[in-house]
Amino acid sequence: MIKSKYTWDVKSPENEITEDVSLDLKLTPIVKKILESKEITDKAAIDQLLKNKQVMHDAWLMSDMEKAIERINLAIDQNQKILVYGDYDADGVTSTTILVETLKALGAHVGWYIPNRFSEGYGPNEMAFKNAHEEGISLIITVDNGIQGHDEIQMIQDLGVDVIVTDHHEIGRTMPSAFAIVHPMHPEFDYPFKYLCGAGVAYKLAQNLLDEPPAYFLGLVAIGTVADLVSLTDENRALVQKGLEILNDHCPASIKAILKQAGYNDVITEETIGFIIGPRLNAVGRLEDAALAAELLMTDNDEEAEFLAEQVEFFNQERKDIVAQITEEALAAAEDQVKQGTKFLLLAQADWHEGVLGIVASKIVETYSLPTLILNIDEAQDHAKGSARSIEQVSMFEILNAHSDLISKFGGHHMAAGITMPIENIESLRQGLNDWMAQLASTTSLEPRKKVDVKVAETDITIKNIQDIQRLRPFGTDFSSPCFELEGVIVNQAKAIGQDKKHLKMVLGDSQLQAIFWQNGHLVKELGEQQPINVIGTLQINEWNGFQSPQFMIQDLASNNLQILDYRSKSKVSGFEQDSSNVAYLIHNKSEKLDDNYYYYGDTIDQSYDKYVFRDLPPSIQAIKTTLKTVDVSQIYLVLNHERSIYFEGMPKMETFKKCFKALATKKETDLAKEGMQLCQFLNIQPSMLKFILKVFLDLEFIKDENGIIKMNSVSTKREIESSKYYQGRLDRIEVEKVLLYDDFANLKKWIKTELVDK
């Protein structure tokens, strides 16, 4: 048995799409099932989705929009200095670009500023605001930040500088005393869609400032929306759809340059943003000053764009290396906490690069399915600073807000947050977060879950069906790529691939379906050929040398069947000692019992284990039968180590025993060192066989061995050769080898299953 990492929630749709709607809109069965699973069954809604007819709402409906527009126009009319105050992530730099370019188009006296992640942190910074005042700035407009900047905004407003906050992050108990707050979640306004990203809010402002915003703004909004993982529904869906069209038809010089550096020259999709464009824009602010990313987005010169994109690519490669190192250290620390029963992972260490801790936190959450906060301890600054990522059942904003007395500063939303706190409060926060989680666990299941949209048969996985599914794109938060379950598919081939064999590649079923399971190469040792498994994941089309084939991208797998895995041809099975699962080892020699989970064949095993490694060849068939009758088994690994095989040597004929006895009796004394080979030749046997015959004779007390001199025992009882324990032991060993080493593996599996059933 292979246990799934997640509980699979197979959705049972509450409503179905009527047959007439399905026929009218030409829905294929698989698309119909997907829409039903996502509770989109109304004809108008489906039509809107399939034909990219999502609406964009009236920008004037957003909070304080009129006040903000009037104040900006006043600043432009009076040639007041305006500062656009941005953020260092992909959403922040796209927001900054949109608003700066908007104000430039209006002839405004505008500058822009993105705080340094490390020296200034997220959101309004007092020193930066004071510097703006000293430079004669009359109006500061924040983009993608500001809603938590109460003190800084009050300070600068008191100095006579107006602040317009444009933000989308969670609003706390109170709002800052800004001149205007443009925010889709503002409680005093009823904007139709609450989940725009920072770039989306900036675009709504641009719509009311410009008669017709430049088309490429929509491309920037699409990047900000996808990269910031906001809900890809309603207006965001419309913005991303239109933005992707722009990026493909009239791609800005900056984005072309980024893709060129990445070696990407295919169609730009939401995945291109999520895996190529977004991470590169984020990388700059994670390691250095995000101004480089903003400068790249603001240029329309091809040569300058290529120059800046090359630098961005350098930061992205450096970011990957740093992430790999910190992730390794953080995973080790997380494992220790998980073993202690921790339910909220707070990992803190000096010299962890603050800029990548969000990425590392995401990797920890993927591994352990627990909310995670990772902090860098900065003794020089006397604070700890980092990033948090959550699971679906836990609002990171809510849980951190509940412990705000221990935190200097934080901002974020349900799934993610950034935080700065005193070093001395780390342990108190760790305890508080875990107490909070314990209380939550008493009423809410924290078990990791995956939503499955549709169960499919192997025959459903075709190029045509996958192409039909693509009609539903773009996919993202709250409108995820449909997850499919495939039950009982046979593993034809499994192998670990990639650097360090980290990934699992399989060929499945009658159709020879290609399947990939990233970061799970270790499972190859648990998968036997012709083994049925259940998998969940997404579908895509794999293209190679112009040939297209379906590919299943696995998100989780399980097998409810007993697994008997053949490692008899391997010299050893590596990795079990380091395996986090419960493993029992069956060994031959009691003197090698290394720990409590090592058992001698025939011992009673009164504890349940996930895996049973039959490491050594058992002394007899009865011994392994006894073992099989005492185990509650799901996985058996047949290693069956042994020094040498005797099966093909067989058992000496009875005539050979008699002939040997007669030869020894004739001579009275035999010096094995001098005469042993001669005796072997006389008997026509190998030396190993002679040793066995002599052991039998010694056991039956027919002879004596005096330092290699074999003498007949003058007083001996007549006994049958077959009564010797060595004779019987050899018979047992031959039978063991016949059944366990040399029989067909299919027969061996059948034999083991029979013994398990009969227990």
Residues 126 and 263 both lie in one domain: yes
Closest CA to 281 of 304, 309, 246, 248: 309
User: Which pLDDT belongs to residue 759?
Assistant: 58
Closest CA to 357 of 117, 123, 519: 117
Does residue 629 form part of some domain?
yes
Structure tokens at 89: 């992530």
CATH number at residue 408: 3.10.310.30
Residues 700 and 613 both lie in one domain: no
In the chain, the number of structural domains is 5
Q: Which of 513, 539, 561 is the last residue of a domain?
A: 561
Residues of the chain with pLDDT under 70: 570-581, 590-593, 716, 759
Are 422 and 441 a contacting pair, CB within 8 Å?
Answer: no
Residues 494 and 548 both lie in one domain: yes
Are 349 and 333 a contacting pair, CB within 8 Å?
Answer: yes
Q: Which residues contact 495 (CB under 8 A, 6 or more apart)?
A: 504, 505, 506, 524
Does residue 339 form part of some domain?
no
Are 219 and 243 a contacting pair, CB within 8 Å?
Answer: yes
Range of the domain at 688: 647-723
Does residue 51 form part of some domain?
no
The string of DSSP letters for 396-413 reads: HHHHHHTTGGG-SEEEE-
pTM of the model: 0.78
Residues 475 and 545 both lie in one domain: yes
User: What sections of 51-125 are H helices per DSSP?
Assistant: 65-77, 90-105
Residues 188 and 259 both lie in one domain: yes
**How many whole angstroms separate alpha carbon 265 and alpha carbon 284?**
22
384-412 core/surface letters (b: 16 or more CB in 10 A; e: else)? bbbbbbbbebbbbbebbbebeebbebbbb
Q: What is the pLDDT of residues 167-201, one digit of tens each?
A: 999 898 899 999 999 999 999 999 999 999 999 99
Q: Which of 530, 561, 592 is the last residue of a domain?
A: 561
Q: Which of 410, 445, 480 is the last residue of a domain?
A: 445
**How many whole angstroms separate alpha carbon 740 and alpha carbon 728?**
18
Does residue 252 form part of some domain?
yes
Does residue 506 form part of some domain?
yes
Closest CA to 189 of 358, 60, 347, 350: 60
The string of DSSP letters for 205-221 reads: HHHHHSSS--THHHHHH
Residues 275 and 299 both lie in one domain: yes
Closest CA to 308 of 290, 317, 291, 296: 296
Residues 101 and 174 both lie in one domain: yes
Structure tokens at 694: 């002599």
Give the residues across from 677 on adjacent strands. Answer: none
Are 140 and 126 a contacting pair, CB within 8 Å?
Answer: no
Does residue 327 form part of some domain?
no
**How many whole angstroms separate alpha carbon 757 and alpha carbon 738?**
22
Does residue 50 form part of some domain?
no
What's at 589, amino acid-wise?
N
CATH number at residue 226: 3.90.1640.30
CATH number at residue 483: 2.40.50.460
Residues 706 and 747 both lie in one domain: no
Q: Is 45 left (phi over 0), alpha (psi -120 to 50) or beta?
A: alpha
**How many whole angstroms separate alpha carbon 563 and alpha carbon 545?**
37
User: Which pLDDT belongs to residue 570?
Assistant: 60
Are 270 and 474 a contacting pair, CB within 8 Å?
Answer: yes
User: Which pLDDT belongs to residue 730?
Assistant: 95
User: What would the 3-class secondary structure string for 226-282 be?
Assistant: HHCCCCCCHHHHHHHHHHHHHHHHCCCHHHHHHHHHHCCCCCCCHHHHHHHHHHHHH
Does residue 33 form part of some domain?
no
Residues 158 and 179 both lie in one domain: yes
Residues 289 and 397 both lie in one domain: no
**How many whole angstroms separate alpha carbon 211 and alpha carbon 228?**
27
Residues 625 and 718 both lie in one domain: no
**How many whole angstroms separate alpha carbon 470 and alpha carbon 467?**
5
Residues 81 and 221 both lie in one domain: yes
